[in-house]
Chains A and B, each alone.
Chain A
Amino acid sequence: QQQVKQSPQSLIVQKGGISIINCAYENTAFDYFPWYQQFPGKGPALLIAIRPDVSEKKEGRFTISFNKSAKQFSLHIMDSQPGDSATYFCAASIWDDKIIFGKGTRLHILP
């Protein structure tokens, strides 16, 4: 119930393409869904976050789509660039409690 399931494990996308990473959860009490980006040798850093009262949030080339009834949310990276190559983690939390992370997706953008 506390898990966040993330897919795919790895993803290769051509430069300029759309990268899509999906996550699913079971616990309907989750009310905050952030995405973190991690570069090699660094800790993860917050990329974008959404609350379940909206279905979509966009920041530049990054968009979160949220489907409350399906208990799924996804990250879309438009016009993917080689600099976007990193590991991406979806996550979920309840109020100000601990954050539960998915297992991560290693994204590689081909130049």
Chain B
Amino acid sequence: DAGVIQSPRHEVTEMGQEVTLRCKPISGHNSLFWYRQTMMRGLELLIYFNNNVPIDDSGMPEDRFSAKMPNASFSTLKIQPSEPRDSAVYFCASSRTGGRSPLHFGNGTRLTVT
């Protein structure tokens, strides 16, 4: 079991550029979550999918953020255009069946927008 795989590990970009973060969940897991972690706000849930369908995107900060899950083994989080306040660590997590099952987190993508 390779665990949840996120790429890239680090991303540095300039304000206004498009950023795409990628996630490969654990095989057999039906739920996928995107979180953002900052010192000030802790772990914020951005969006979660169940069986590839977005269930709750109320945490997505604004229209600049979008997420897709085209199949059970891949998801992307896109920020366009990026802003300095988007700088954070973005985590992807998967679980067998939503919140009751243990969440398995990837090692995160540290995003810096200058």
Contacts and interface: CB of A to CB of B under 8 A. Distances in A.
Interface string B71-86: 0000000000000000
B105 A44 contact: yes
Contacts of A103: 41-43
Nearest to A99: B99
Given A43-B4, A43-B108, A104 B103 contact: no
B43 A97 contact: no
Interface in B63-114: 91, 93, 97-108
A43 B102 contact: no
Interface in A55-96: 89, 93-96
Contacts of A42: 105, 107-108
A97 B98 contact: yes
Interface of B: 4, 31, 33, 35, 41-43, 45, 48, 55-56, 91, 93, 97-108
Interface of A: 32, 34, 36, 41-46, 49, 89, 93-104
